[in-house]
Amino acid sequence: MAIRPILEYPDARLRTVAAPVEKVDDEIRRLVEDMAETMYAAPGVGLAAPQIGVPLRIFVIDVADENEPAQFAAYINPEIIEAVGTQSWKEGCLSFPGVHENVKRAEQIRIRALGVDGVPFEVEATGLLAVAIQHENDHLNGVLMIDKVGPLQRRRMGKKLSERQRPNGAT
């Protein structure tokens, strides 16, 4: 397993639409292990393969609190098959370090995907899990958190990112 570098906005590779995984094999399972290690080290609750420069339809999620047992899951070739209601959640993103903004998402979803064993599964999700799944699924389509917010929030995000990129916060 290896911790991989996470691409940060505005890296153009984050806009790539990911390709389907043709076969769940040992190479894909190693990639999932690397993604898990990278996500936990960051630390984050989710990570999509395009965020580490791999344009494949895979993401990993673990929304368990620090004092709870892991709830790790890998989603390969995911497809959201139902989305109901609306909720607003203050989201962060490993590709937008230090930035948190309210984003509207479906309140409840149902998703179909393959697991690391290549077997299809379905999950119904609400709350943080639903938000995380939708957020990571967006990454697979080249859609970023900044695309989901209004103009004022976009400017605020841009300002936070440019301040972060200045050495020692210099102006």
One of 22, 33, 68, 136 is an active-site residue; which one?
136
Q: What is the DSSP code string of 98-137? A: T-EEEEEE-SEEEEEEE-TTS-EEEEEEEHHHHHHHHHHH
Among 22, 18, 20, 27, residue whose Cα is nearest residue 50: 18
Taking the C-alpha atoms of residue 130 and residue 105, their distance in angstroms, rounded to an integer, is: 8
Q: How far is CA 4 from CA 32, 60, 73, 110, 150, in A?
A: 11, 14, 19, 30, 31
Active site residue 68: no
For 27-40, give one letter per residue: b (16+ CB within 10 A) or e.
ebeebbebbbbbbb
Taking the C-alpha atoms of residue 59 and residue 140, their distance in angstroms, rounded to an integer, is: 8
Catalytic positions, written as ranges: 136
